[in-house]
Each structure stands twice: as C-alpha cells, then as structure tokens.
Amino acid sequence: MEIPSGDPAPEFQQRLGLIIMRWASVEALEAEFLAFLTNATPGFLYVITQNISGATITDWLRTLVSLRFHERESLEKLGQLFTMINSARAERNALAHGLWTKGVTPETAIVHTVKLERLEIVKQEVVTLADLNDLASHITEIINELAAVGRYLGFYPSPTA
C-alpha cells in the first residue's frame, strides 16, 4: 500500500480531533460504570482500563450487567447501548488510525482504513465533513446515554468528585 500524502483541509483535522476527544468521554464513562459494577475504586480501575481494549471493557460491562440486573427492558436497552458503542468504536478507530490525505475536492478527504469486521479489510474511503459530523453527533448521543445511566445508578458524576 502506498502511503498517501497531502493533509486534508483543516476542517477535517478539527472534526477528527473532536471525535477523538469525545470518544475519551465514552471511555471514561465506561470505566466509571465498570468501577461501579465491580465495587472498585475508579482511580485504581483506571490502571486496568487504560491498558486493555475498549471492546474488552464493553464486553465486561455487558457480562456484569447481565449478572447484576434482571429487568428485561433495562437489559435490552443496555445491550443496545453496548452495541452502539461497539459500532461507533469501530468507525472511530478506523478513522483515528487511518491514513488521511486530501480528497479530490475540498469537501472530501480520502482515508485508508482497516476494519476487521468487513469483507474488504483494508479499504480506501471518501469521507465528507457531514460524515464526521454525523459520527461526532452519534458519539455525543452515546455519552448522553451513558451519563443518564450513570446518574440513574449513582456513579456519574463520580461520587468522589
């Protein structure tokens, strides 16, 4: 694969930065949720959560939630949230770790992405600002849902904050 050259427009760089920053909030909220479910000290648990994959944390949350909660509707909603997180993570990771170059037009960028869950693992994709805005909005929805779960269960904002 040839390494692309020529940075995309600054607006693409800004949106990608926003996506990365917002994703950090998802990871922090998942870590707080995991600390709550395991009765662990959040600060101590960060030693673990900062050194394993986000997908593993989400899988642990899915398992622990199924052991701790028994109301069907709640389990379904949380299961849907975890599925949303996994999907958004795959998209975010592909973009954050992709090789970027300017697009054919100023309104586009080209990203060489790697996604193990698709048939064509390495692919060149055309990305627009609207695509990045949609992902940023989707991540914000996930943050809001995780925060709502945290407020309901009492782990967000952090009781120690």
- Mean per-residue pLDDT for 24-30? 96
Share of the chain above pLDDT 90, in %: 80
Could you read off the pLDDT of 36-85 as tens digits, one per residue?
Answer: 999 999 889 989 999 999 999 999 999 999 999 999 999 999 999 999 99
- Mean per-residue pLDDT for 96-117? 90
- DSSP assignments along the chain, one per residue: -PPP-SPPPHHHHHHHHHHHHHHHHHHHHHHHHHHHHHT--HHHHHHHHTTS-HHHHHHHHHHHHHHH---HHHHHHHHHHHHHHHHHHHHHHHHHTSEEEE-SSTTEEEEEEE-TTSSSSEEEEEEEHHHHHHHHHHHHHHHHHHHHHHHHHT-SS-TT-
Q: Is the pLDDT at 161 greater than 70, yes or no?
A: no
pLDDT, averaged across the chain: 92
Domains of the chain, by residue range, sit at: 10-92+131-153
